């Protein structure tokens, strides 16, 4: 009798990849065009529906996906990372529905994004690569749209976003730059990380790339578009994150190139440009919003606002009751702060935002998930790099290197942005960035071996 397990596995992979790409396309590009003047998340969250109704439907979808993942692709042994992902999803739902201040759909969509991460982690290598590169393409498309609409706002029905006292800032189809900048930063970090893999591959194969390579050109177009969109958002958190990643990639590339003198003249200029770009963005981030003045609260409206909201957040946490300290107040808890006329929907710091929204329990689970994920990525990257050095020059090995290093760079960038803002896991307008990061991270989650996957 014919074994149906390969057919079932292939069907599961195809459906899983389609679900991830459909969800991300819907979150990142909520077109049809007549709705381009509205915030993407207002459409994605179905905010016109009553929260209990949409919440029940969304929770049912999450439960079905978890069941399918468990049947077709779950590891035989519960890995720490899988446990923390599941724990983070259910902690978010508990904080949202038992203690939630508002934004019920936001909590559901964060849990759904964690579900996409788990779904991506059990796909086969081929499907993972497909999802990774298609998501990278979506991020690039968003960056191109942002740049085009910045210079040609007439293409959209949406009024260009302008910060009072500063001027025009890129926002694409969103209502402002805050939902956009984490998305384009993710795209830029993936493309920058790939530059390292290109050099490692060429150096290992002892060859010089002199021919026209369409794939490399497309990746550098993506890098240019994402960098341009990041700059045009004029978000200092984004500039600082890209500055760190650019300097790290440039320094690493120069170190690799320096080991072979014949290699230096070919690639050293490009990596020196990345270092220069990073230094320029780091310096410019201090003065971009101050009209040349020092970035201190007296001259800088954004810095003054952050200092005030951080102080109010700490005071708020000190007065919380026990249940709120443990489980938080759900997404959007910053609206509970007494900020007067200048009410903020974001705490502007990932640690404070997580403590206020999901409590000590949620913060511990999310922090553990992040730490375990980064450690597993480092080990996986070292393993793939070791295989490369021992003669594994396969295309799959190179894709594994690109995905793991890209996820490592993304995680560093998200952490840096989280020091000055809440790029993910916060308000409804950050759902697209949250879903993009978690889906890309899920693709890069290391797998032990094919034998550890449950086949049905």
Phi/psi for 259 (5° steps) reads: -75, -15
How confident is the model at residue 353, as a pLDDT?
A: 86
What is the reported pLDDT for 224?
A: 93
CB-CB contact of 25 with 138 (8 Å): yes
CA distance 137 to 21: 11
Nearest to 325 by CA among 368, 362, 360, 363: 360
* pLDDT, one tens digit for every residue, the chain (456 residues): 344 445 566 777 777 787 788 777 777 765 443 333 333 444 444 333 334 444 555 566 666 666 666 655 555 445 677 778 888 888 887 777 776 656 667 777 788 888 888 888 878 888 888 889 999 988 998 899 899 989 988 877 777 788 777 788 888 878 788 888 999 999 999 999 998 888 877 765 555 554 457 888 889 999 999 999 999 998 889 999 999 999 999 988 888 876 655 555 566 778 888 999 999 999 888 777 666 666 555 556 677 777 888 888 888 888 777 777 888 877 777 777 766 555 566 788 888 888 888 888 889 999 998 998 999 899 889 888 888 888 777 888 888 899 999 999 999 999 999 998 888 887 777 888 888 999 999 888 876 543 333 333
Q: Which residue has the tokens 């021919």?
A: 211
Parse the chain into domains and list their residue ranges.
5-452
What's residue 4's pLDDT? Answer: 40
The DSSP output letter for 452 is G
For the chain, the C-alpha Rg in angstroms (whole number) is 22
pTM of the model: 0.85
Euclidean distance between CA atoms 376 and 388, whole angstroms: 18
- Number of Cβ within a 10 Å radius of residue 259: 9
The β-bridge partners of 387 are none
pLDDT at 187: 94
CA distance 226 to 135: 13
Contacts (Cβ under 8 Å, ≥6 apart) of 439? 20, 23, 24, 113, 116, 117, 120, 131, 135
Phi-psi group of 46: left, alpha or beta (phi > 0 → left; psi -120 to 50 → alpha; rest → beta): left
What is the distance in angstroms between the CA of the first residue and the CA of the last residue of the chain? 15
* Torsional sign, CA 268, 270, 271, 272: positive
Q: What integer pLDDT is reported at residue 407 of this predicted model?
A: 93
Take residue 408 and report the two structure tokens written for it. Answer: 């490592």
Q: How far apart are CA 397 and CA 387, in angstroms?
A: 8
**Tokens standing for 128?**
């993972």
Q: Output the CA angle 156-159-160, nearest 5 degrees.
A: 95
The angle that helices 350-389 and 395-420 make with each other, rounded to 10 degrees, is 160
**CB 293, CB 299: distance < 8 Å:** yes
The number of C-alpha atoms within 13 Å of 290 and in the hemisphere containing its C-beta is: 18
Q: Say how many residues make up the chain.
A: 456
Cα torsion 217, 21, 96, 65 to 10°: value is -140
Query: What's the CA gap between 240 and 415, in Å, rounded?
Result: 11
Specify the DSSP class assigned to residue 163. Answer: E
């Amino acid at each position: 009798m014919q074994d149906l397990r390969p057919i079932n596995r292939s069907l599961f992979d195809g459906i899983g990849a389609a679900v991830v790409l459909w969800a991300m396309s819907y979150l990142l590009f909520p077109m049809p065009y007549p709705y381009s003047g509205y915030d993407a998340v207002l459409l994605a969250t179905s905010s016109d529906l009553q929260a209990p109704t949409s919440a029940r439907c969304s929770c049912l979808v999450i439960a079905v996906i978890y069941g399918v993942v468990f049947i077709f692709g779950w590891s035989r042994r519960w890995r720490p990372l899988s446990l923390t992902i599941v724990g983070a999803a259910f902690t978010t739902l508990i904080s949202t529905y038992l203690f939630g201040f508002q934004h019920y759909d936001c909590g559901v969509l964060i849990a759904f994004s964690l579900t996409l991460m788990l779904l991506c982690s059990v796909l086969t290598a081929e499907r993972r690569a497909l999802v990774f590169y298609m998501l990278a393409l979506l991020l690039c498309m968003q960056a191109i749209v942002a740049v085009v609409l910045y210079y040609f706002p007439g293409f959209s029905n949406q009024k260009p976003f302008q910060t009072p006292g500063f001027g025009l800032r890129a926002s694409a189809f969103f209502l402002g730059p805050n939902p956009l900048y984490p998305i384009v930063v993710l795209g830029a970090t993936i493309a920058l990380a790939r530059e390292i893999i290109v050099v490692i591959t060429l150096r290992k194969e002892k060859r010089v790339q002199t021919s026209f390579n369409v794939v490399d050109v497309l990746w550098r177009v993506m890098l240019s578009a994402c960098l341009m969109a990041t700059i045009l958002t004029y978000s200092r958190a984004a500039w600082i994150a890209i500055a760190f990643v650019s300097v790290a990639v440039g320094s690493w590339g120069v170190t690799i190139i320096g080991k072979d003198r014949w290699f230096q003249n070919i690639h050293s200029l490009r990596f020196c440009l990345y270092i220069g770009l990073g230094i320029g963005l780091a310096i410019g981030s201090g003065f971009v919003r101050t009209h040349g003045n020092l970035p201190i609260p007296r001259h800088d409206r954004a810095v003054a606002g952050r200092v005030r909201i951080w102080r109010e957040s700490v005071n708020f946490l000190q007065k919380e009751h026990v249940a709120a300290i443990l489980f938080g107040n759900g997404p959007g808890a910053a609206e509970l702060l007494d900020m007067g006329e200048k009410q903020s929907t974001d705490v502007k710091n990932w640690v404070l935002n997580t403590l206020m929204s999901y409590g000590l329990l949620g913060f511990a689970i999310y922090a553990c998930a992040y730490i375990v994920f980064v450690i597993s990525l480092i080990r996986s990257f070292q393993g793939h790099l070791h295989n490369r050095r021992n003669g594994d020059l396969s295309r799959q090995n190179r894709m594994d290197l690109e995905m793991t290093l890209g996820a490592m760079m993304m995680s560093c960038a998200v952490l840096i942005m989280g020091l000055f803002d809440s790029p993910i896991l916060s308000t409804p307008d950050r759902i697209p960035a949250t879903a993009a990061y978690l889906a890309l991270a899920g693709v890069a989650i290391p797998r032990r071996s094919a034998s550890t996957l449950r086949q049905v």
